[in-house]
């Protein structure tokens, strides 16, 4: 927890200095380094790209918790997007723990929007998430910080030996909300915004799945038969390590990720399915949303028969007995006549990012209908700045077990195209939203939504500890 406190302090220091910057060069003093940012005349924002928030996690610091940044002399130019963390490309850099700050001029005592990128624990970077478009709707009402973190085996390899010889924390937004069994309250953050949250199977650090993953990784790196396998991994060159990380991930595409958080009984002390129902959790409120067609990206597309499906779920949920597996199949029956829950292309997992970050006013993009952008982003800004996502156009009900209401963002006005994306059957016709599509925003019963999705949630929640999730 010392590192997280340091990171929060770093953000506070950097923002406090913003209000007193030198107009000529936007230089800030963070104690360990001086960073010179720049002013973007188009967005009217002051920007500092690539600020170190930790020492390079290289050498003996590989696998270790982030350490405070090293002292740097002179003025560091904070004008370029930092190198991304290794995620399959040998041109990436292990020295990648950076953050970028976007602030309106003379910012002082403003809410801070901290974005932790997605990517399945093995992809993503600051470069993919520029908040300037989002901030244009806020009219100088908040500050944005975007961070990078270690990916793949660099940050998420698990097992008893890793636990014994490293010290690391959790990663995703949801996991931070349950960290320390909710004992942090609002000391780190007040609002949580979970955009298309997905928690892969979360094993104990010494369970069979993470342990086998660790052994597979050792064999991929020729560190399996040495006297000190962990020390061998620490000393590996970056190219060999990155290749092994990518290979292990490519062998596990789908819901059974090679890299994900584990229950370490220190930072993450229990399963999300248990902590979220029992409480307490960190933060004062959560805004959580999913796209209507999240699932295909997480499903093994090679399964084409009922027998293959039965074998897959019996292996995936190996702790479930036959009676429980039969219940699972009743909630998710085979149906040859039922298509995807939505034919609107933006409803795929991750496609809502276009609503959050991408400004393409002159583009014929089908991913961001203008009317939807103008309704969705003000809701986000309201939540960031006030903790209440309600806007004049979209009054947002507070969810409770007695009133399980949700807002359903949809659009009308689409054109039909022939599918040419891997997750759809070849030649399928899909509906793709036009730029001028009209909004269809409704308040609906979350429990009854999509033919009673709440019953599915009840079932999965009751078996959460056995999945484990």
Whether the pLDDT of residue 302 is over 50: the answer is: yes
Does the pLDDT of residue 223 top 50, yes or no? yes
pLDDT of residue 101: 98
Residue 298 has pLDDT above 70, yes or no: no
Task: Label residue 337 by pLDDT band (50, 70, 90).
Answer: very low
Range among 97-111, 348-362, 389-403, 451-465 rated most confident:
97-111
Segment among 112-121, 192-201, 361-370, 407-416 with least mean pLDDT: 361-370
Q: Which of 218-222, 255-259, 372-376 reaches the highest mean pLDDT?
A: 218-222
Cα 350 to Cα 118: distance, rounded to the nearest angstrom: 9
Reduce the DSSP state of residue 374 to 3 states and report it. helix
Domains of the chain: 24-283 (3.40.50.1820), 304-468 (no CATH)
Question: Bridge partners of 439?
Answer: 411
Burial class (CB in 10 A: 0-12, 13-18, 19+), 58: middle
Q: What is the per-residue pLDDT for 439?
A: 82
Bond prior to 412 in cis (omega within 30° of 0): no
Name which of 380, 378, 369 is nearest 410 in CA terms.
369
Please report the pLDDT score of residue 274 as a whole number: 85
**pLDDT over 70 (residue 224):** yes
pLDDT of residue 368: 60
Span 239-252, average pLDDT: 89
Instruction: Give pLDDT, residue 430.
Output: 46
Q: Measure the CA–CA gap between 178 and 181, rounded to whole angstroms.
A: 5
pLDDT tens for residues 154-182? 999 999 988 888 654 334 677 888 888 89
DSSP conformation letters of 99-120: EEEEE-TT--S--EEEEE--ST
Bridge partners, residue 45, by sequence: 40
Look at residue 53 and tell me whether its pLDDT is greater than 90: yes
Q: Which residues contact 274 (CB under 8 A, 6 or more apart)?
A: 464, 465
pLDDT, tens digit (0-9, with 9 covering 90-100), for 202-215: 889 999 889 999 99
What is the distance of C-alpha 3 from the center of its chain?
20
pLDDT in tens, 433-460: 556 777 888 899 988 887 788 888 888 8
Other CB atoms within a 10 A radius of the CB of residue 343 amount to 19
**Mean pLDDT, residues 135-147:** 96
What is the reported pLDDT for 342? 37
């Amino acid at each position: 927890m010392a590192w997280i406190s340091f990171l929060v302090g770093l953000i506070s220091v950097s923002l406090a200095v913003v209000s007193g910057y030198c107009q000529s060069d936007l230089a800030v003093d963070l104690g360990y380094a001086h960073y010179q940012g720049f002013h973007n005349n188009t967005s009217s924002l002051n920007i500092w790209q690539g600020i170190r928030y930790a020492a390079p996690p290289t050498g003996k610091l590989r696998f270790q918790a982030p350490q405070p940044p090293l002292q740097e002399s002179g003025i560091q130019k904070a004008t370029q997007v930092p190198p991304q963390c290794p995620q399959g490309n040998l041109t990436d850099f292990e020295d990648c723990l950076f953050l970028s700050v976007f602030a309106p001029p003379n910012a002082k005592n403003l809410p801070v929007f901290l974005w932790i990128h997605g990517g399945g624990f093995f992809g993503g970077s600051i470069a993919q998430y520029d908040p300037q478009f989002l901030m244009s709707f806020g009219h100088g009402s908040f500050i944005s910080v975007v961070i990078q973190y270690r990916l793949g085996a660099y940050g998420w390899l698990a097992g008893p030996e890793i636990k014994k010889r490293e010290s690391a924390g959790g990663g995703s937004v949801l996991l931070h909300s349950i960290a320390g069994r909710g004992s942090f309250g609002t000391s780190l953050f007040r609002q949580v915004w979970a955009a298309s949250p997905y928690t892969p199977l979360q094993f104990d650090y010494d369970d069979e799945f993470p342990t086998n993953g660790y052994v597979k990784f050792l064999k991929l790196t020729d560190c399996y038969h040495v006297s000190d396998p962990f020390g061998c991994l620490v000393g590996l060159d970056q190219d060999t390590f990155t290749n092994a990380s990518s290979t292990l991930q490519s062998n596990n595409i789908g819901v059974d990720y090679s890299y994900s958080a584990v229950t370490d009984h220190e930072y993450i002390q229990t399963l999300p399915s248990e902590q979220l129902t029992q409480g307490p959790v960190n933060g004062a409120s959560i805004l959580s949303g999913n796209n209507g067609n999240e699932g295909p990206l997480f499903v093994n597309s090679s399964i084409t028969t009922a027998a293959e499906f039965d074998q897959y779920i019996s292996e995936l949920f190996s702790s479930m007995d036959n009676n429980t597996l039969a219940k699972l199949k009743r909630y998710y029956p085979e149906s040859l006549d039922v298509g995807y829950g939505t034919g609107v292309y933006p409803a795929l997992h991750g496609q809502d990012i276009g609503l959050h970050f991408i400004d393409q006013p002159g583009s014929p993009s089908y991913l961001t209908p203008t009317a939807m952008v103008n309704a969705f982003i003000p809701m986000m800004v309201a939540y960031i700045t006030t903790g209440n996502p309600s806007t004049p156009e979209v009054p947002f009900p507070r969810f409770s077990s007695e009133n399980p209401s949700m807002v359903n963002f949809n659009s009308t006005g689409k054109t039909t195209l022939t599918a040419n994306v891997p997750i759809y059957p070849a030649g399928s016709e899909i509906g793709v939203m036009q730029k001028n599509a009209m909004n269809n925003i409704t308040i609906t019963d979350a429990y009854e939504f999509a033919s009673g999705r709440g019953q599915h949630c009840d079932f999965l929640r009751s078996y959460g500890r056995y999945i484990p999730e």
